[in-house]
Structure 1
Amino acid sequence: MATEIADGVWRFDCRGVNAYLVFDDVPTLVDAGTPWDEETIRRGLDEAGVGVSGIGRVLITHYDLDHVGTLAALASDLDAPVYAYGFDAQLLRGARRPPFRNHKGLIQRLGGRLTERADLDVVGVRDGEAIGSFTAYHTPGHTPGHVAYVSEELGVGLLGDLVSESDGELSPSGWLISYDTDAVATSVRGLAARAPPFEVACVGHGDPLASGGSEALAALSARVG
């Protein structure tokens, strides 16, 4: 199901995870659901009036089965760069494998067996880099290369799995699904301190916040501090 949660911001409700479309300087797909969400994303893009071929860029918050799963299925119609950070960009390119000695890395290895590598141009992101109206913020912990994107101009924060939402509040990524929960807490505090104010908080899991996004992040920062 596709829902416009704010002006120019669409949520695609995939299998237990969210992907998003943001109308920035170019239509921007944010994350890409599980390998079984191709129809949901294609239909959502059509409903938003874009279609896969109309996507100008893809922003990946991190490499996980449920965030990069449809890229390979979309690749035949997708002519756009895919942005990802550091180690996660290497995983997306197939240049590295997750470490099996970390419990989350082992989960990623197992998930990788179900994830086909997409033949797309993967562009490495730098911390503080501007991509359209968004600024990239390295927020490791959930994964080593997790990155959040915040647009002051649009008032939108793309938070990935750094946090999740429940009952209108944000919570940090938990132990089972994180490489390092201490790093998660540090990243939450760092993002709250560095990022400009934003209203819309787009999260990977739970419902996105249509307003009060940076305030919710600041409240979480105080709790984990």
Structure 2
Amino acid sequence: MATEIADGVWRLDCGGVNAYLVFDDVPTLVDAGTPWDEGAIRGGLSDAGVDLSAIGRVLLTHYDLDHVGTLAALTPELDAPVHAYGFDAQLLRGYRTPPLGNHKGLIQRLGGLVTDLPELEIVGVRDGDAIGSFTAYHTPGHTPGHVAYVSEELGVALLGDLVSESDGELTESGWVISYDTGAVAASVRSLAERAPAFDVACVGHGDPLASGGDEALRRLAATL
């Protein structure tokens, strides 16, 4: 099911996790659900009136089973570059494996057993890169290569799992699902300082905020 939460911004509800469709300079898919969410992604795009073949790029906030899971299943209709950062891009390419010495790395290892890697172009992202109207902000902690994308033009922030939503407020990624909670807190504070104003906060888990997104991020940052 897809819901338009702001002009040109659609939430693709996959049940326990969100993906998004953003009409930027090209139709942009943001994250891609679990390996079992192919029907939800395809159905959501159809609800939004977009053919899978029309997607011009994928913005990946990070490598986790519930954010990259359907990419392989969506090809060959999906034929678009996937933008990912650093270590997480290396995981998506299959060049590296998550570390067993970190509890979250172990979780990712287990998730990798049921996650096929996509045969798509993986484009490395750097902090500050402009991708369409979005700027990439490296926000490590949940994963080493977690990245948020903010469009000043659209007033939209794609926050992935840096934060989640609960009762209309944002909460930082917790220990169980993070590589480093100290880095998470630093990333929240840094993004609140660096990012331009935005209304819409698109989160991986919970309900996206259709207004006041930057204020909610700053409120959270002030507590960390």
Normalising by the smaller structure, the TM-score range is over 0.9
Contact kept, 8 Å, 1:165 with 1:203, in 2: the verdict is yes
Question: How many Å separate the matches in 2 of 1:126 and 1:101?
Answer: 26
Aligned to 1:115: 115
Match of 2:40 in 1: 40
Structure 2 partner of 1:203: 203
Residue aligning to 2:77: 77
AA aligned to 2:157 is G
Deviations for 1:91-134, whole angstroms, at most 9, x for unmatched residues? 00000000011000000000000100110000000100000000
Give the counterpart letter for 1:94 in structure 2. Answer: G
Q: Secondary structure at the match of 2:177?
A: coil
**Identical residues among aligned pairs (%):** 80
Counterpart check, 1:66 vs 2:80: no
Quote the Cα distance in structure 1 between the aligned partners of 2:138 and 2:146: 6
**Does residue 157 of the first structure (1) align with residue 157 of the second (2)?**
yes
Determine whether 1:13 maps to 2:10.
no
Structure 1: segments with no counterpart, 5+ residues = none
Report if the CA contact (8 A) 1:22-1:29 is conserved.
yes
| Bigger Cα displacement from structure 2, 142-151 vs 43-52 | 43-52
Listed one character per residue, the Cα deviations across residues 31-50 of structure 1 (whole Å, up to 9, x for unaligned) are 00000000111111111111
CA contact (8 A) 1:15 1:33 kept: no
CA RMSD of aligned residues (A): 0.5
Residue of structure 1 equivalent to 2:125: 125
2:22 maps to 1:22: yes
Poorly superposed stretches of 4+, deviation over 2 Å: none
- Distance across 1 between alignment mates of 2:53 and 2:44: 13
- Check conservation: 1:156, 1:200, Cα contact below 8 A: yes
Query: What TM-score does the superposition give when structure 2 sets the normalisation length?
Result: 0.99
Structure 2 stretches lacking a partner, 5+ long: none
Match of 1:92 in 2: 92
Code of the aligned partner of 2:112: G
TM-score by length of 1: 0.99
Please state if 1:51 is matched with 2:51.
Answer: yes
In structure 2, the residue matched to 1:136 is: 136
2-side partners of 1:15 and 1:70: how far apart? Answer: 14
1:9-34 deviation line (CA, Å, top 9, x unaligned): 00011030000000000000000000
Mapped partners of 1:15, 1:3: distance in 2: 13
In structure 2, how many angstroms separate the alpha carbons of the residues matched to 1:93 and 1:51? 25
SS in structure 1 of the partner of residue 154 of structure 2 = coil
